[in-house]
Amino acid sequence: MYKKSLKAYTTMNLQAELAVADPHRVIQLMLQGCLERLAQAKGAIERKDFEGKSVAISKSMAIINGLQDSLDLSYGEVPERLAMLYDYMKERLLDASKEMDSAAIDEVANLLITIKSGWDGITTEEKDAAFSKIKGA
């Protein structure tokens, strides 16, 4: 009962945050959500929970697909390289799933942590300047 109530609260809290979030915050939430699913997948591998592993890896891959879909490739090299990195992450997650390899999950998590730390380091001023350029275009 407690887990169900906690999950409902967490879901409602996330939905409320997403309702008012700017695009920058949405990406932050996606990155955090993916890292959480990767931790779940790693735990499932360690427990030999095949179903839990599959669900968590599938959710991680769906989030990575969402991150990849959000890239605007017209901005050149950086989004193109991110798209390739996301493809690599998905390949590694498939390896992790097939081989029950938690090291592959750690590799993807470390890559995402690097991206997230860069994303989190964007200042409010930089974010506002970027949004104003987009709106002005």
Q: What is the pLDDT of residues 20-47, one digit of tens each?
A: 568 888 999 999 999 999 999 999 999 9
48 belongs to a structural domain:
yes
53 belongs to a structural domain:
yes
1 belongs to a structural domain:
no
79 belongs to a structural domain:
yes
The answer to whether 44 and 56 have CB atoms below 8 angstroms apart is yes
pLDDT for the residue 2: 47
Q: How many residues does the chain have?
A: 137
Indicate if the pLDDT at residue 3 is higher than 80: no
Domain total of the chain: 1
Residue carrying structure tokens 């890239």: 71
34 belongs to a structural domain:
yes
Domain with 87 in it: 23-121
3 belongs to a structural domain:
no
Using CA atoms, how far apart are residues 40 and 46, in angstroms rounded to an integer? 10
Can you give the CATH number for the domain in which 96 is found?
1.20.120.340
132 belongs to a structural domain:
no
91 belongs to a structural domain:
yes
User: What is the pLDDT of the chain when averaged over all its residues?
Assistant: 87
| Axis-axis angle for helices 50-69, 77-99 (nearest 10) | 170
